[in-house]
Amino acid sequence: MIKAAVVGGSGYIGGELARLLSRHPMISLEAITSRQLAGKMVSDTHPYLREYVDLEFSGSITGEGMDVIFLATPHGASMQLVPDLVRSGAKVIDLSGDYRLKDPKVYQEWYGHEHTDPHNLKRAVYGLSELYWQQVSDSDFVSNPGCYPTCAILGLAPLFVEGLVKEGVAVDAKSGTSGAGMELTRATHHPNCGASVNPYKVGRHRHAPEIAQTLGHLQGRPADVVFVPHLIPVVRGMLCTMYLKLNEDIDKKRLMGIYAEFFRGKRFVRLTDVPSMQAVVGSNHCEVGLEVLGNRNVVIMSAIDNLVKGGAGQAIQNCNAMFGWPEETGLDFPGLGV
């Protein structure tokens, strides 16, 4: 058994990491930190962990004695912690946005402050393991992708790798309210979002450049991405519907063949006609479907659980790669279905 710690365990992602790690057959969860809750039982904050996680929150850790550390810290905080944690000898998986955008100028533009750890920014591997499994396997520091980018990129990757996209792509993305975190905001207050579909941060969402960066890397030239996120009245789950035009005539059967070959052997991506959030919520799966609408127009649809495949589950999938285990270790269970 390897020893793991979660830094920043008081929020939804930290709790989800603890839930999944508590049942992982190869990992012993040794510590969970929260400066505000230090000394209190983890299960008091996350009652669903009672009898599964018998730990108190600690104020901080150094990394000594740990084999892997998961950072579920806010943007800007991770880059203050990573240098020392990496030097401790532990493998590090960062779930914040601090190491996703590879250009420090782009990072500063979208996050509003200077990146203070350019050395580790250069060496961080982008942890979308369906695309970069070997790089993740060889790394000791991984930047976990954002939830929207995970959902969108997995749906679009085969077309961009094959160079089949004529121009750009429009991403219509919808997420459950848990994606906004535990802290109450005006946008997530139930009277505002409980019976509505609300677009937000149009043209300003930090996942837009992350999607464009990865799709551009896949096709070998800059990608034009229009990204519009929406908040929907569910707790967990995410659905991306993406619109693009192909640069040649390809029917649905051939496209599905391209997708089937691209994702061959990938345990957590499954192809279907119409993806369902209910089918993937609670699981690490991503469902992908598509339709060809004539005149080379294609609609791609993908669905994930924003807290699992879009966060904690993907981080554990990356951990599995880093330690040489099958990707499904500790994650091989279906969605809830309702």
**Residues acting as catalytic residues:** 147
Contact, 76 vs 110, CB < 8 A? no
Q: How far is the C-alpha of 330 from the C-alpha of 320, rounded, in Å?
A: 9
- Cβ-in-10-Å burial (0-12, 13-18, 19+) of 248 comes to exposed
| Both tokens assigned to 225 | 């991405």
Q: What distance separates the 2 farthest-apart alpha carbons in the chain?
A: 62
In 3D space, the residue among 141, 137, 21, 145 whose CA is nearest the CA of residue 93 turns out to be 141
Q: How far is the C-alpha of 55 from the C-alpha of 235, rounded, in Å?
A: 26
Close Cβ partners of 65 (under 8 Å, ≥ 6 residues apart): 3, 30
Q: How far is the C-alpha of 32 from the C-alpha of 242, rounded, in Å?
A: 38
